[in-house]
Amino acid sequence: MCGIAGIMMRNGSSPDVAILDRLADALAHRGPDGMGKHIAATVGLVQTRLAIIDLKTGDQPLYDPSGLALVGNGEIYNYLELREELKDHPFQTQSDCETPLYLYREEGFDFAQRLRGMYSLALHDPAEGLLILSRDPFGIKPLYYTETADYLAFASEAQALVAAGLAGTEILERRRQELLQMQFTCGEKTIYDGIQRVMPGETLVIRGGRIIDRRHLPALPSGSPEKLSEADAIDRLDRAIRDSVAIHQRSDVPYGLFLSGGIDSSALLSVMSDLNDRPIIAYTAGFSGTNVHDERDHARALAAKVGADHHEVDFGEADFWESLPQITAHMDDPAADYAILPTWKLAREAAQELKVVLSGEGGDELFAGYGRYRSVLRPWWLGGRDIRHRGTFDGLDVLRASDHAWRDSISSQQALSSSQGRSRLQAAQAIDCKDWLTNDLLTKLDRCLMAHGLEGRTPFLDREVANAAFRLPDDLKINKRLGKWVLRKWLEKVMPEAQPFTKKRGFTVPVGEWIRSRSEKLGPLVANRDCIQEIADPDRVVALFNANGKREGFAAWTLLFYALWHRANIERRTPGHGTVFEVLEEK
């Protein structure tokens, strides 16, 4: 995993080396093991490397004999199989990222169809005067771009485009409303006016600094649910998960696991313990001295069962006040998800020993684990609701803007997903995979881990697992009011100690408790920020922080996140090592 960036000029000039250096500097945390640069004609590419596979000869840019150049971020997991298929080509390294060079020679703009992995790639074809950008189908690895009259520039993080002077920080109102109401933003346009996402599964073809073609590779298979018995579904699932975990372990450096004690990470632990001779290195977060449920006891028991080397990481109130300014500064593409807190500290601790961790993101989306999916299946007179029907601030009378335009992107995705012959459950899952998964969960994982030079891998977000899971019958996903039914049945078979049918408490972080404990001081500090006064009534913000309800607590957290994020990423004021209070007190 790495950071990549580059530029293609529109006026025929050569890229400014100083701009490329600024891009590389802004992405240095993503790749502490080296930096490479390519400049030819109107194109400049840079990469900062976190060395995972082919430590000796895998430095980038990579080239083929004709001069085709590539920089990449991520991993091509099926690179060994592809090298065998492409054995007539003159490979010069053992890097997994060399395979796309020769796939491009064989397949042209459709080269990504044969890739299995997580990636954002940039290829420069000087002979044809083309720049090609490509992103994996689930959007596990990020990629952003901006266009002006003079150039098209791209980077692994939006903040790098800003830091290099290639884009500004003006906020799009619609995206800000999405962030406040849903905790993430949707679609191609980011919260920054002029910075866009290369969409998951998208390949952009660029000539003369202008996009001339777009190709798309879907993450999910098409079609309605298949007819399949539970036994056949379990067998198919077993093969897919084991195969995916096996290739996600391909690495030339040590790897481990984020173990929450939930169904998804327990499933990964079970398979990893079967595939490895050495003890699995596992990390679990917990919250001592709070009222939230702590999964460490259960995770500890599972780790002991398989002989894992288990590390417990406590995230306390002091961590909250001390680390939140740093975390929000790294969330340049904002997601107000409180799971960023334990993820950040887990990554910091794991990075002292590892370069790679496997994590369970995607299990809830592919196997229908969220309670909102059960609501989607109920008729309206029994409490059924559309996905994300209510925003964080609806009914709280805090924000100055109170319309429902924030839901337009979700509504359009809902209409599109429902028109593709899918069941209501499949449509809801597809909506979550399109935006929530990519722009919240995976953005959180990417930024929190890459801030510490740690690569996160997600075996559930694999095309073979998606093909095995997404078209399962609805009643093998949700049964007897339980989501992830078939995954639970499989886990009960392979690791009964995981107790997959025991009622689980939802994962939460006690941000509400911590905010309420300091609300008298914190509320006015947040309310007095200019960015908060622009969007909310200050007196009502103070009242919100002093309220005791669960919804009010999450809304207060969202405003706190936004105030700190805005200071670091819009006002461009680095937080240093100050606490939440010290940072908010600065003007």
C-alpha–C-alpha distance, residues 224 and 472, integer Å: 9
* Dist. CA 124–CA 141, nearest whole Å: 19
Helix (H) or strand (E) holding 178: helix 173-182
At 9, list the tokens.
């000029």
Comparing CA positions, the residue from 458, 464, 438 lying closest to residue 116 is 464
In the chain, the amino acid numbered 26 is A
- Supply the Cα-derived Rg of the chain in whole angstroms: 23
Pair 157, 27: CB distance under 8 Å: yes
Read off the tokens for 79: 């690179």
Q: How many CB atoms lie within 10 A of CB 213?
A: 12
Q: Which residues partner with 482 through β-bridges?
A: 479
CA distances from 143 to 172, 198, 248, 521, 547 (A): 19, 6, 21, 39, 39
Distances (CA, A) of 251 to 29, 254, 255, 256, 461: 20, 7, 8, 11, 18
d(CA 400, CA 427): 32
Q: What pLDDT was estimated at residue 419?
A: 65
- Annotated binding residues for ATP, written as ranges, equal 359-360
CB–CB of 151/8 below 8 Å? yes
Q: What is the pTM of this model?
A: 0.96
With beta carbons less than 8 A apart as the criterion, state whether 579 and 321 touch: yes
Residues 162, 578: Cα–Cα separation, whole Å: 23
Which of 2, 186, 433, 531 is catalytic? The answer is: 2
Phi, psi for residue 258 in degrees, rounded to 5: -90, 115
Which of the 8 DSSP states describes residue 97? G
pLDDT by residue, tens only, the chain of 587 residues: 689 999 999 999 999 999 999 999 999 999 888 889 999 999 999 999 877 876 677 788 999 999 999 999 999 999 999 999 999 999 999 999 999 999 999 999 999 999 999 999 999 999 999 999 999 999 999 999 999 999 999 999 999 999 999 999 999 999 999 999 999 999 999 999 999 999 999 999 999 999 999 999 999 999 999 999 999 999 999 999 999 999 999 998 999 999 999 999 999 999 999 999 999 999 999 998 888 888 899 999 999 999 999 999 999 999 999 999 999 999 999 999 999 999 999 999 999 999 999 999 999 999 999 989 988 888 777 666 777 778 999 999 999 987 777 778 777 777 666 667 899 999 999 999 999 999 999 999 999 999 999 999 999 999 999 999 999 999 999 999 999 999 999 999 999 999 999 876 666 899 999 999 999 999 999 999 999 999 999 999 999 999 989 999 999 999 999 999 999 999 999 888 899 999 999 87
Name the CATH superfamily, with its identifier, for domain 230-498.
Answer: HUPs (3.40.50.620)
> Do 169 and 35 meet the contact criterion of CB atoms below 8 Å apart?
no
The answer to whether 355 touches 439, Cβ cutoff 8 Å, is no
Q: Are strands 2-9 and 151-155 parallel, antiparallel or unpaired?
A: antiparallel
HSE on the CB side for 342, CA within 13 Å? 23
Q: Residue 347 has which token pair?
A: 């990554």
Which residues are documented as binding site for L-glutamine? 96
Secondary structure in 3-state letters for 265-331: HHHHHHHHHHHCCCCCEEEEEECCCCCCCCCHHHHHHHHHHHCCEEEEEECCHHHHHHHHHHHHHHC
Is position 97 annotated as part of the catalytic site?
no
Q: Select from 316, 320, 315, 323 the least CA-distant residue to 578.
A: 323
Q: Of all helices (H) and strands (E), which one includes residue 133?
A: strand 130-135
Q: How far apart are CA 449 and CA 257, in angstroms?
A: 13
Angle subtended by helix axes 550-569 and 317-330, to nearest 10: 50
Give me the pLDDT at residue 417, please.
67
Phi, psi of 5 (to 5 degrees): -160, 165
Give me 532's structure tokens.
């908060």
At 149, the amino acid letter reads A
CB–CB of 282/349 below 8 Å? no
Task: DSSP for 108-150, please give it.
Answer: GGGGGGG--EEEEEEEEETTTTEEEEEE-TT--S--EEEE-SS
Give me the residue spans of the domains in the chain: 2-216, 230-498, 511-585
What's the pLDDT score for residue 577?
A: 83
**Residue 139's pLDDT is what?**
98
* Neighbouring C-beta atoms of residue 218, cutoff 10 Å: 13
Binding annotation: 96, 359-360
Is 2-216 CATH 3.90.1200.10?
A: no
pLDDT of the residue at 1: 61
Opening angle at CA 211, ends 207 and 213, nearest 5: 100
Backbone angles phi, psi at 297, to 5 degrees: -60, -45
Look at residues 84, 87, 58 and name the one whose alpha carbon lies nearest to residue 73.
58
Between CA 411 and CA 506 the distance in angstroms is 26
Provide the terminal-to-terminal Cα distance of the chain, rounded to the nearest Å: 37
Helix axes 550-569, 538-546, angle to 10 degrees: 130
